[in-house]
Amino acid sequence: MNKFFDYILLTVGAAIVAMGLEMILAPIGLVDDGVTAFSIMANAMWGLRQKLQHIRNTVLNKFISHIFLWPGRGMLTLAF
């Protein structure tokens, strides 16, 4: 039960960070580091936001499925 509560808190924290990035940092042109910074800069320069979000979501889904499901089964379930 404690692990479930930890996952809930992680999800809430990730949602707060995502809202902060989209509502505060991105509109005024400030960037974070890593993939987030690249995504914000690419959107500002070339308008690649949707393409990068699709790639990020696909990679993240496959990675998470590989961790939480069996390695062979997880990759097959989320194949697009």
- Residues 14-69 have pLDDT tens digits of 888 878 877 887 777 776 677 777 777 777 777 666 666 667 767 766 666 666 66
Residues in the chain: 80
Statement: residue 71 has pLDDT above 60: no
Strand ranges (E), 2-78: none
- Please give the pLDDT value at position 65: 62
Statement: residue 76 has pLDDT above 70: no
Structure tokens at 38: 């690249």
Q: What distance in Å separates the CA atoms of residue 65 and residue 79, rounded to the nearest whole number? A: 11
Pair 35, 71 in one domain: yes
- Please give the pLDDT value at position 74: 47
Q: Is the pTM of this model over 0.85?
A: no
Pair 43, 79 in one domain: yes
Pair 40, 77 in one domain: yes
> Around Cβ 26, how many Cβ atoms within 10 Å?
18
- Please give the pLDDT value at position 80: 43
CB 58 within 8 A of CB 80: yes
Domain extent, residue 44, equals: 31-80
